Chains A and B, each alone.
Chain A
């Protein structure tokens, strides 16, 4: 190697070492986002705290339990609201999946704050009251969520395809937007399909 080659080698080595020495200050000046996607997650687990054994055949007077959870990967603490809604099977989940929340009024709601990278989870018990079958029509007069009875007027017609009276209990995730200072639908919904035939 010639002296000029050695000179270049020394310059490069010095530059690299200088960058390493300057990295603590560069870390403050240059933001390293890591490029990770920011999102919130919403999940629903069965009574055994696993993604199985979800209630399906339900009857009046019984109490059922599921676990609803929310994970925050938004990069900072977030203020969430989970709305519990109930409807018959004629309300399509496609509208909800399209980023539009259901127009139904919520029964119960949960409001909570989750730090970045943290999760929130709660057991949600539910049941039904005043279930009346009249021919091929079944009406539900009350839904119990977390021990609170909510009067409803939900009616389902016998679904010959599914072979039952089908209802839906679902959970919508809403997130507080600091800029607009209102809750906005986060586009995430989890739900249960319930047959009240039994």
Chain B
């Protein structure tokens, strides 16, 4: 049976307190509360008995092999899939970033970020957010002129203008080269430290999960097969003994037995 998540760790609790003050959420309230979630496509079960709570300000990485159901879970949380069974509760403002940055090519960068905002200062808000992700020079650029990393920054800015308390990131760095990916990790952490949204990051990259998350949730065959908590300050050293052990455990759970993975 799927593991039910335990009580929040101290770091997460501290983050929760911070965010509670700011957003006046009920203390201890989860941003995501999923119980007994199931999803089947044409009779084939993709998710089964999923129990998952995400605290305010917590970074949870959802890892698994292709077809493990991780993207389906994120789509359900994003409200893009309503054909599930069980209890799903998502609180507050939710923003999503996809693997393909999914910008509208016929709208300039700033208009892409301002899309869906309805107040008078929408352009100013978009500009501020673009500067925050380091794209202040690209306000009037066409999306097709951007590099993959820049496009993902725009996508992040578009998520951030909604001032979300939950960000759902669906393998947003999966298509980027290794160096750009590391830069994006730094950027996400910097933004998170400033704004403290809860983040649910779907990834197939164990290192990425361990570098960013407070908690790594491993999905296999539509169930939560394993969880790891990471209580280390960020940025983290990849060689940290604790991380090395966690990496081996996660890779083993994923069915990878790489001797070279140890240091």
- Are A and B a genuine interacting pair, yes or no? no
